[in-house]
């Protein structure tokens, strides 16, 4: 292997040679990064509790020569590699969290937490990219910096727990990237990229483009009065009846949803009562309203809030609604998409890349959407899984594609951005007009967070 000083002056490698060195380094680390991804799969942790996951990723990044700062937004981490010349900072991201999918083959037998969204393979790709971007050919030629970041809690679940963390001052916003933006972890990052796994689309291909839904999160407590369910039900106020009427009213709205708005309204009851022989005094509902735009979400969310009130009013229950700002729609940057697609095509063949129209929207949401409102981002998918996302059958079927090829594609795209005095990255930043400033984003999210009390009488 050459050293950095061998590669100065006339021996300076050209971009083809740099890319070949990156490819070799990632390939050489293939077993190691797949092993890391599988190890994380075997130890799934839900959002903001990814302590072990964060630790093993930090260790692997340190071994790759990137000493990360840890415990950002509780479990997040960030390690920066600076190259010789000045230039922009490219963020390469991986998500730390699993979700709850009891019955999944990788599920923790007690908690039911499982990597049913494939985030473990993103972390293998993150470390693979760090290894690829640490070889002497790269350090001798690139300008600027790369921030390798692992972000907590992308799956917007366990709302009660997160709300408690907010009320005790441990969080200000309730997803990992949101909170890392709020804390300033992205202040010195100019653009960001990651690769998410998918089971849709042609197997083994990368899918670039498309958008995602905005959403708002409701944490709702219906509060009644306990009484003996056999001996004195007339003394009780049944919170479960209030919640059921509320959800019936929500369902009655569905015929009014406009197809173009891509509305999704869904939720779970996380507390339905505590004793069968007592009138339920408290019922907790965690709900979600999604839509193509924030305006579409707000319109339906206001009606849904009325439905909660209707249930409480009918039964004479009390109601507490916490409205939590969810995610904003994803905007993929066309320049990043072009560079990434070209690298995938040249590495793996033209058939390995599928481009989607910018408005293609499967209905899901991601906090990469929030990031895309303040900087250029890329959130492609790699079709390397079987089963249904978030289902018990969603498993990575092709670890090489999910981990190694994703790492290579990300690292080579960084080479394009930061070569030649980071000319491509500089041009991109100059041409990009973010929809919001970073401070403006944080203010608008914090302002949208509110708590509503209602007494149904
Ligand atoms: Zn997911
Ligand atoms: Zn995911």
Please report, for the chain, the start and end positions of each structural domain, with discontinuous segments joined by +.
Answer: 5-212+329-442, 214-326
Q: What is the pTM of this model?
A: 0.96
Calculate how far, in angstroms, residue 238's C-alpha sits from the geometric centre of ligand 1. 34
Query: Which ligand has the shortest distance to the CA of 197?
Result: 2
Calculate how far, in angstroms, residue 364's C-alpha sits from the geometric centre of ligand 2. 9
The domain made up of 214-326 has a fold known as Alpha-Beta Plaits (3.30.70)
Q: What is the DSSP letter of 293?
A: S
Where residue 202 falls among pLDDT bands split at 50, 70, 90? Answer: confident
pLDDT for 200 equals: 80
Asked if residues 227 and 279 have their Cβ atoms less than 8 Å apart, the reply is yes
pLDDT for 6 equals: 67
Q: What is the pLDDT of residues 68-83, one digit of tens each?
A: 999 999 999 999 999 9
CA-CA-CA-CA torsion sign (193, 198, 200, 204): positive
Calculate how far, in angstroms, residue 189's C-alpha sits from the geometric centre of ligand 2. 22
Tokens 């059921």 belong to which residue? 244
Mapped onto helix, strand or coil, the DSSP state of residue 362 is coil
pLDDT for 4 equals: 63
Asked if residues 395 and 387 have their Cβ atoms less than 8 Å apart, the reply is yes
The CATH number assigned to the domain with range 5-212+329-442 reads 3.40.630.10
Asked if residues 371 and 180 have their Cβ atoms less than 8 Å apart, the reply is no
Q: What is the pLDDT of residues 108-136, one digit of tens each?
A: 999 999 999 999 999 999 999 999 999 99
Asked if residues 170 and 70 have their Cβ atoms less than 8 Å apart, the reply is no
Token readout for 373 is 């409102």
Q: Which of 48, 40, 203 is nearest to 124 (CA)?
A: 40
Please identify every residue whose CB atom is under 5 Å from ligand 1, which is an ion: 117
- Please state whether beta strands 191-193 and 113-114 pair in parallel, antiparallel, or not at all (unpaired): unpaired
Q: Which of 248, 250, 219, 251 is nearest to 326 (CA)?
A: 219
Calculate how far, in angstroms, residue 121's C-alpha sits from the geometric centre of ligand 1. 13
Q: What is the pLDDT of residues 218-245, one digit of tens each?
A: 999 999 999 999 999 999 999 999 999 9
Asked if pLDDT for residue 197 goes beyond 80, the answer is: yes
Calculate how far, in angstroms, residue 437's C-alpha sits from the geometric centre of ligand 1. 27
Half-sphere exposure (CA, 13 Å, Cβ side) for 373?
A: 23
């Amino acid at each position: 292997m050459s050293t950095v000083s061998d590669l100065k002056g006339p021996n300076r490698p050209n971009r083809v040679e740099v890319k070949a060195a990156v490819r070799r380094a990632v390939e050489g680390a293939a077993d190691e990064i797949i092993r890391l991804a599988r190890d994380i799969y075997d130890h799934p942790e839900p959002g903001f509790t990814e302590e072990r996951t964060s630790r093993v990723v930090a260790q692997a990044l340190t071994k790759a020569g990137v000493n990360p700062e840890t415990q950002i937004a509780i479990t997040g981490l960030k390690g920066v590699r600076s190259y010789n010349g000045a230039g922009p900072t490219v963020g390469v991201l991986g998500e730390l969290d699993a979700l709850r999918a009891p019955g999944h083959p990788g599920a923790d037998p007690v908690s039911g937490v499982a990597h049913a969204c494939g985030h473990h393979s993103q972390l293998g790709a993150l470390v693979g990219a760090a290894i690829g971007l640490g070889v002497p050919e790269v350090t001798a030629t690139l300008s600027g910096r790369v921030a390798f970041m692992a972000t907590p809690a992308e799956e917007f679940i366990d709302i009660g727990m997160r709300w408690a963390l907010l009320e005790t001052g441990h969080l200000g916003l309730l997803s990992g990237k949101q909170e890392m933006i709020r804390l300033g972890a992205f202040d010195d990052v100019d653009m960001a990229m990651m690769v998410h796994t998918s089971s849709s689309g042609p197997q083994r291909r990368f899918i670039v483009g498309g958008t995602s839904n905005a959403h708002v999160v409701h944490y709702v407590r219906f509060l009644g009065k306990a009484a003996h369910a056999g001996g004195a039900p007339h003394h009780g106020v049944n919170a479960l009846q209030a919640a059921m009427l509320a959800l019936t009213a929500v369902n009655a709205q569905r015929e009014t949803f406009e197809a173009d708005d891509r509305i999704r309204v869904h939720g779970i009851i996380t507390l339905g009562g505590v004793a069968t022989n007592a009138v339920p005094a408290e019922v907790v509902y965690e709900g979600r309203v999604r839509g193509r735009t924030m305006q579409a979400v707000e319109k339906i969310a206001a009606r849904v809030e009325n439905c909660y009130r209707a249930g409480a009013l009918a039964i004479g229950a009390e109601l507490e609604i916490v409205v939590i700002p969810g995610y904003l729609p994803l905007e993929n940057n066309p320049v990043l998409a072009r560079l990434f697609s070209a690298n995938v095509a040249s590495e793996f063949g033209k058939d390995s890349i599928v481009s989607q129209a910018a408005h293609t929207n499967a209905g899901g949401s991601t906090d990469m959407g929030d990031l895309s409102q303040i900087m250029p981002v890329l959130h492609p998918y790699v079709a390397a899984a079987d089963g249904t996302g978030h289902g018990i059958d969603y498993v990575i079927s092709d670890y090489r594609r999910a981990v190694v090829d994703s790492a290579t594609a990300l690292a080579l795209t960084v080479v394009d951005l930061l070569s030649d005095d980071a000319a491509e990255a500089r041009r991109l930043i100059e041409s990009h007009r973010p929809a919001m400033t970073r401070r403006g984003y944080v203010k608008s999210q914090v302002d949208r967070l509110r708590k509503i009390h209602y007494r149904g009488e």
